[in-house]
Amino acid sequence: MSFQAILFILILSIPIYLVCKWCLRKLKLGNDKNRKLIAILPTIILSPIIYSAVITLWIFSISYYPSMDFDQKTWNSSIKERYKMSKDIIESKMLIGKTKEEVVMVLGNKYASDNKESLSYELGFIPGLMNIDPSFLYIEFENGIVKNVYQYNG
């Protein structure tokens, strides 16, 4: 555990200790002298648990991104936010069975292609912890027809 984590847990333990002591007084457990000692045990147990919960919520909050249904106008106007529509494109299988020309009519002509059997469209940067590379929608063709569509995180 890092020094910052330990420091945060110690700072977090002060209000937890005060709340535990207050609860013991309200529940009339112990006397004034031993309440201080009794409040230490729940503080030791609760501080790391609350710290873990706070960190988990923080990670989920920065990793969350909304998804939206595919909209051709939004797709073509906002390359940086295409990742919001990629899930709908993949799950609806809207491109499966289409030719390359049909895909280009739907998604536009701003794509990258390594060969005749694939296309990739930039999706922008998906929000997330340590996510520094853009993501791509990768489309594979077999005999000129879309066989597979998936998201590739660069």
> In this predicted structure, what is the pLDDT of residue 73?
92
Predicted TM-score (pTM) of the model is 0.64
Domain carrying residue 17: 3-63
Domain co-membership, 23 together with 92:
no
Domains contained in the chain, number: 2
Domain co-membership, 105 together with 86:
yes
pLDDT band at 62 (very low <50, low <70, confident <90, very high): confident
From the CA atom positions of the chain, what is the Rg in Å?
26
Region 82-107: mean pLDDT is 92
CA 146, CA 23: separation in Å to the nearest integer? 64
Domain boundary pick from 14, 43, 63: 63
Domain co-membership, 137 together with 79:
yes
Beta sheet of 135-142, edge-to-edge order: 118-124, 135-142, 145-153
CA 39, CA 20: separation in Å to the nearest integer? 5
Identify the CATH number of the domain in which residue 117 sits: 3.30.1450
Question: Could you tell me the CA-to-CA distances from 5 to 1, 115, 136 in Å, in that order?
Answer: 6, 49, 35
Domain co-membership, 56 together with 109:
no
DSSP secondary structure letter of residue 99: B
CB atoms within 10 A of CB 20: 21
Domain co-membership, 109 together with 53:
no
Query: Average pLDDT over the chain, rounded to whole?
Result: 87
